[in-house]
Amino acid sequence: MIPISNLSHDPYFNLALEEYVVRHLDPSHNYLILWQNSPAVIIGRYQNTAEEVHQLYIEDHGIAVVRRLSGGGAVYHDLGNLNFSLVVSTKGQGFNDFRSFTLPVIETLAHYGVKAELSSRNDITIDGQKFSGNAQYRTSTHLLHHGTILFDSELDAVAQVLNVRQDKIASKGIKSVRSRVTNIKPYLPPDVTLAQFSGTLAAIIGDHNQGLEPPYPWGAEDQAAVQNLVETRYATWDWNWGKSPAFNLTAHEKFPGGSIDVRLLVEEGMIRSCRIYGDFLGQRDIHEFEGALVGKRYQISEVAPVLHTLPTGEYFGAISEQEVLQVLFDTSPSI
């Protein structure tokens, strides 16, 4: 097993790095990457991004959204989360064999006196609470297995970012299953740091794979190739949002100035149709406002400037521009 040192916290780079290793490094070797991301939501390959993340929250907090190669559900990353990626030969390796890849994590926790278990096909838990989700992607030569380990993440942020109403957006995308989550730090001896835990995990993964070889000699050519993947795929709107399945959004909110009912059809991340109803006291034909949104990306960063150029008060009376944005993009559950 050849370790690849990765000190980057850039989620776009880190997801691109995984693809580069899977597709371009020598398939006769196996590889290990331990890495961390700055705050980001990592979306499963077949998911509808808008259905998984609370857009208003991620915009306010500068949280990145990146789609990965593998399927499964959305997960939140920050610097309190440790990610492990194993890239191995497909020869003799079955797809969806999660047990053999998660066993080193369970053994690492056992090393520190903590009992963990693989509780479902791809989750690892402590006392029934999930701290690790795992997924896989396969090419003709390589299998990528990657997983998360909540070491000391901001669990409040996890709840906010991924707390999305399931009745507001309807699509055929694969929906995440929400679970009770926990960090592992409270269960560990108080002096165990994330770096120490990471080192122990690497050693135990090595024990399961005939030992760790010298680190991969990362060079300028490798760096440039990964950066190219960032620019052409992982940092692009098309990959992270446009690849989402078509969906219908139905949203209704009541404000002191009246109520708004919005119906959107979004395809390839673009608003294809828009209808707005309500008892607001506007002076202008609402069809003009609807038409201004059609053809725009379903993203706050694109829709908000459009609203800013329109006389919102003439369309919606006492309902403010910010309240209109709330109807369009606030997918958090009603209290």
Q: What is the tens place of the pLDDT at every residue in 81-99?
A: 999 999 998 876 655 678 8
Answer with the residue of higher pLDDT: 251 or 184. Answer: 184
Query: Would residue 113 be called left, alpha or beta, if left means φ above 0 and alpha means ψ between -120 and 50 degrees?
Result: left
Residue at which a domain ends, from 224, 242, 260: 242
Do 227 and 160 belong together in one domain?
Answer: yes
Residue at which a domain ends, from 220, 242, 264: 242
Computed from CA positions of residues 17, 18, 23, 29, in that sequence, does the dihedral angle turn out positive or negative? positive
Range of the domain at 256: 247-329
Say whether 121 sits in a helix, a strand or coil.
coil
- Rounded to an integer, what distance in angstroms lies between the CA atom of residue 28 and that of residue 24? 11
Do 111 and 146 belong together in one domain?
Answer: yes
Do 209 and 255 belong together in one domain?
Answer: no
- Rounded to an integer, what distance in angstroms lies between the CA atom of residue 332 and that of residue 305? 22
**Average pLDDT for 295-319:** 93
| Phi and psi, residue 10, nearest 5° | -80, 115
Is pLDDT of 199 > 50? Answer: yes
- The pair of three-digit structure tokens given for residue 216, joined into one six-digit string: 């991969």
**Average pLDDT for 11-20:** 98
Q: Is 335 part of a structural domain of the chain?
A: no
Secondary structure, 3-state, 163-187: CCCCCCEEECCCCCCCCCECCCHHH
The one-letter amino acid code at 11 reads P
Do 32 and 73 belong together in one domain?
Answer: yes
CATH assignment of the domain containing 102: 3.30.930.10
- Rounded to an integer, what distance in angstroms lies between the CA atom of residue 34 and that of residue 50? 29
Residue 321 makes CB contacts below 8 A (sequence gap 6+) with: 307, 308, 312
CATH assignment of the domain containing 280: 3.30.390.50
Domain count, the chain: 2
Q: Is 97 part of a structural domain of the chain?
A: yes
Its pTM surpasses 0.75: yes
Q: Is 204 part of a structural domain of the chain?
A: yes
Do 276 and 145 belong together in one domain?
Answer: no
Residue at which a domain ends, from 242, 266, 300: 242
Do 79 and 180 belong together in one domain?
Answer: yes
pLDDT value for 334: 46
**Alpha helical stretches, state H, the chain:** 11-24, 49-52, 55-61, 98-111, 155-161, 194-207, 220-229, 237, 286-293, 300-309, 312-316, 321-329
pLDDT value for 163: 61
Do 200 and 276 belong together in one domain?
Answer: no
Cβ burial, residue 167 (10 Å; 0-12/13-18/19+): exposed
Do 229 and 255 belong together in one domain?
Answer: no
Confidence tier at 39 by pLDDT (50, 70, 90): very high
Q: What is the tens place of the pLDDT at every residue in 124-174?
A: 999 999 999 999 999 988 999 999 999 999 998 888 888 655 555 555 444
| Cα 97 to the center of its chain, rounded Å | 22
| Phi and psi, residue 95, nearest 5° | -75, 145
C-alpha pair distances (Å), 163 with each of 58, 290, 298, 299: 12, 28, 19, 18
- The pair of three-digit structure tokens given for residue 242, joined into one six-digit string: 């446009």
